[in-house]
């Protein structure tokens, strides 16, 4: 199935969802379109992220937001919750990323 079979509104919706952070498979499920069709469409548009792209994007986003909350007194509660809300990820993701960035 070629991406040319996508209607204009499907193309628009697919790009919007993908740019919001959904994976190609997530976009396909959300729109009810075959994964291979969505993947090919995103590749043709030049926006297909490499495998693991969302994790890298989340990590960068979390670290950028974390800088704002660095002075938070209770780093592993209030600050983490605020970062998670702003980044749109789970609190455990923020904790893991911060732990990994701090090192041993």
What region does 2 belong to: left with phi over 0, alpha with psi -120 to 50, or beta? beta
Instruction: Render pLDDT for 10-63 as a digit per residue (tens, 0 to 9).
Output: 999 999 998 888 888 889 999 999 999 999 999 999 988 776 555 666 777 788
Instruction: Render pLDDT for 55-85 as a digit per residue (tens, 0 to 9).
Output: 666 777 788 787 776 655 455 566 788 888 8
Which numeric CATH code is attached to 3-45? 1.10.10
If residue 12 lies in a helix (H) or strand (E), which one and from where to where? helix 8-19
Domain boundaries, the chain: 3-45, 53-102
Rounded to two decimals, the pTM is 0.49
> How many Cβ atoms sit within 10 Å of the Cβ of residue 31?
17
Task: Select from 62, 39, 68 the least CA-distant residue to 51.
Answer: 39
Judged on CB neighbours under 10 Å (0-12, 13-18, 19+), 81 is middle
């Amino acid at each position: 199935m070629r991406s040319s079979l996508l209607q204009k509104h499907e193309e628009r919706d697919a790009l919007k969802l993908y740019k919001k952070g959904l994976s190609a498979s997530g976009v396909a499920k959300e729109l009810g379109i075959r994964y291979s069709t969505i993947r090919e469409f995103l590749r043709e548009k030049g926006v297909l992220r490499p495998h693991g792209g969302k994790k890298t994007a989340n990590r960068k986003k979390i670290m950028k937001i974390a800088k704002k909350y660095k002075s938070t007194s209770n780093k592993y509660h209030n600050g983490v919750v605020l970062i998670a809300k702003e980044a749109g990820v789970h609190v455990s993701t923020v904790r893991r990323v911060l732990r990994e960035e701090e090192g041993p």
